[in-house]
Structure 1
Amino acid sequence: MKKGLFLALSLAATMSLNAAVLATVNGNEITDKDLTPLLGAHGAEFDKIPEQMKKQLIDVAINGQLILEQAKKDGVEKTKEYKEALEFSQDNVLRNVWTQNEYKKVKIPEADVKAFYEKNKDRIFVSPAQTKAKHILVATQKEAEDIIAQLKGLKGDALKSKFSELAKTKSIDKGSAMNGGELGWFDESRMVPAFSRAAFALKNGTITIKPVKSEFGYHVILKEDSKAKTTVSYDKVKKSIEEQLRSEKFRSIMQDKMNELRKGAKIEYK
């Protein structure tokens, strides 16, 4: 598939001899590598996206090839506008490639990565304690007490089943009611304080024995499960730390480089 100089340069790093042919347009091949610019917007690999999206992306590439062919037929390559745009594009490619090469030169010793992790593991790399719960929200304390009375003495699956049934028919929180009052997993910061305190204080598989009042009404809570606070392992965050440190170091290096280049250049503001 023939392309203009700008696109050829920007794709040079990703093109390969074994590119998969996805379509042809007037004898010109459309390959998976030709979709790289389109995939960049989705942050995905071609073979991992849904079939419908694959077809849409291929069609976009086909349309692009048809426009390219028509532009050549119309003699756009000979116009002043094309030559000016090509020069501008070439300059941008040069800047981008140079910047990327400079970034690749930045190395972060693993000792620095490890030190950053150790210094911040109890502050940044922490997964907070979580609770999984259901609730039934009603307008009055009396309604909540009646629901608690209906659930009294139930355990295990019998409690879960009855709780879900009452949530669907009694709860004024319609969003969770349709799922039997299910709220899913949450940490303490996700809910209003009164609700969080009550939910986290419960034992797994038990309900609140008194209604929990909040600004929304009165809650009856069933705690389904819990997870303790954990520290994310070094191996899981090593790459992200390294990239963060590399980016910070790169910005500093680039600032020094720009200062150096400006000192050696004749710059006039007009």
Structure 2
Amino acid sequence: MRKLSVAACVSLALLAPQAAQAQNIAVVNGKPVPKARVDALIGQATKQGQPRTPELEKQARDEVVMREMFMQEAERRGLAASPDYKTQMELARQTILIRELFEDQRKKSPVTDAEVQAEYDKFKGQATGTEYRARHILVEKEDDAKKLIADIKAGAKFEDVAKKNSKDPGSAENGGDLDFAKPDSYVPEFGKAMTALKKGEMTQTPVKSQFGYHIIKLEDTREAQFPPLAEVTPQIRQRLEQQKLAKFRDEIRDKSKTDYKFSQN
């Protein structure tokens, strides 16, 4: 019985270094490099969207071992005691801790499906009305606009004239097409002239705005379109999260006692 106990102890003693070694990926100048560092580095990469692959794991192990080598050299030179290092370490500590604070708050006060639905309904209600699909040609001089209007009346295609002459880089290549939009998406002069047109009509005189002179043709109208909830849920959720965190930030600032005056409220 005693011999069995001794054998068991010997076995445990032999296994102990192997267990410790399993927790480390290398030894650099006598100092173990823990596997936990690799796991942390891979965790950061996967959070940012990188897939966990054998190549990523190899890169993480290489990086962790190299970091240990650099750290040891920096410590050998006494850089850890420098004022600049201590200042940067304090700033890094604050940054990490603050990030953890807001992440903790985000988890404790998540955006609910009901909140997303309410925000969606609010924006959808504001999106009612008529949308207009127009084409336009933008030029710098009124006389140029008048000449182009005459050319179109004489039989030139609006789209071809726009491609050749319009100074609007966003629409010229598409024959002046501006797609569907509400009148208030444009400068007031443009919106007013556009809504006065019937489908297929073109402005008979140049429309002046801060950008130059416009020739406008109304292609079509429709009731305002709004994307389905599923399509915009990620954007709405992100917006609401940002609003909640901003409120949390302001609450902490307001309840804190300080003689400091912030430049913005």
TM bracket (short chain): 0.5 to 0.7
Give the Å deviation of 1:200. 3.6
Match of residue 73 from structure 2: 74
Residue in structure 2 matched with residue 118 of structure 1 by the alignment: 121
- Hey, what's the Cα distance between the residues in 2 that align with 1:107 and 1:139? 55
Give the drift of 1:133. Answer: 0.7
Answer yes or no: is the 8 Å Cα contact 1:131–1:200 preserved in 2.
Answer: no
SS in 2 for 1:230: coil
Call closer, same or farther: CA 1:129–1:196 in 2, change over 3 Å: same
**1:249-260 alignment to 2 at 5 Å?**
249-250=244-245
Say whether the 8 Å CA contact 2:128–2:223 is kept in structure 1.
no
Aligned CA distance change for structure 1 residues 148 and 243 (closer, same or farther; 3 Å): closer
Match of 2:109 among 106, 111, 115: 106
Query: Could you tell me which amino acid in structure 2 is paired with residue 71 of structure 1?
Result: F
Change in Cα spacing, 1:86 to 1:184, as seen in structure 2 (3 Å) is same
Percent identity reads 19
Alignment-derived partner of residue 19 in structure 1:
52
Matches for 1:109-188 after TM superposition, within 5 Å = 109-123=112-126, 129-135=131-137, 137=139, 139-140=141-142, 144-152=145-153, 162-167=157-162, 171=165, 173=167, 175=169, 179=173, 182=176, 184-185=178-179, 186-188=181-183
For 1:92 and 1:107, the matched residues in 2 are separated by 22
Q: Is the 8 A contact 2:198 2:218 kept in 1?
A: yes
Instruction: Give the conservation status (yes or no) of the 8 Å contact 1:131–1:199.
Output: no
Q: Deviations over 1:208-248 (max 9, x none)?
A: 3x113314665433334555323444333444444444444
- CA gap 1:70/1:203 in 2 versus in 1, 3 angstroms: farther
C-alpha displacement of 1:30: 1.6
Q: Please, what TM-score do these two structures have when normalized by structure 1?
A: 0.53
CA displacement 1:81-137 (0-9 Å, x = unmatched) = 2785668756654553354233212144433443344345323x6697242313253
Q: Distance in 1 between matches of 2:166 and 2:249?
A: 57
User: What SS class does the counterpart of residue 125 from structure 2 fall into?
Assistant: coil
2:137–2:172 contact (8 Å) kept in structure 1: no
Three-state SS of the structure 2 residue aligned to 1:111 is helix
Distance 1:152 1:192 in 2: 26
Identify the residue that residue 17 of structure 2 maps to in structure 1: none
Which of residues 190, 197, 201 in structure 2 aligns to 1:202? 197
Cα deviation code 1:163-182 (max 9, x no counterpart): 3444456x473747963752
CA distance in 1, matches of 2:215, 2:254: 64
Quick one: structure 1 residues 179 and 238, their matched pair in 2 at CA, closer, same or farther if it must change by over 3 Å?
closer
Normalising by structure 2, what TM-score? Answer: 0.53
Unaligned segments of structure 1, at least 5 residues = 35-61
* Contact 1:203-1:223 at 8 Å conserved across structures: yes
SS of aligned partner of 1:121: helix
Q: 2:146 & 2:172 partners in 1: Cα distance?
A: 21
Letter in 2 for 1:111: A
Structure 2 segments unaligned to the other structure (5+ residues): 1-24, 26-32, 259-265
Give the paired residue count.
Answer: 219
Structure 2 CA distance for partners of 1:139 and 1:100, relative to 1, 3 Å: closer
Residue 211 (1) aligns with residue 205 (2): yes
1:71 is paired with a residue of what secondary structure?
Answer: helix
1:29 aligns with 2:58: yes
Aligned residues of 1:106 and 1:250 also touching (Cα < 8 A): no
Q: Which one has a bigger Cα radius of gyration?
A: 2
1:223 maps onto 2:218 in alignment: yes
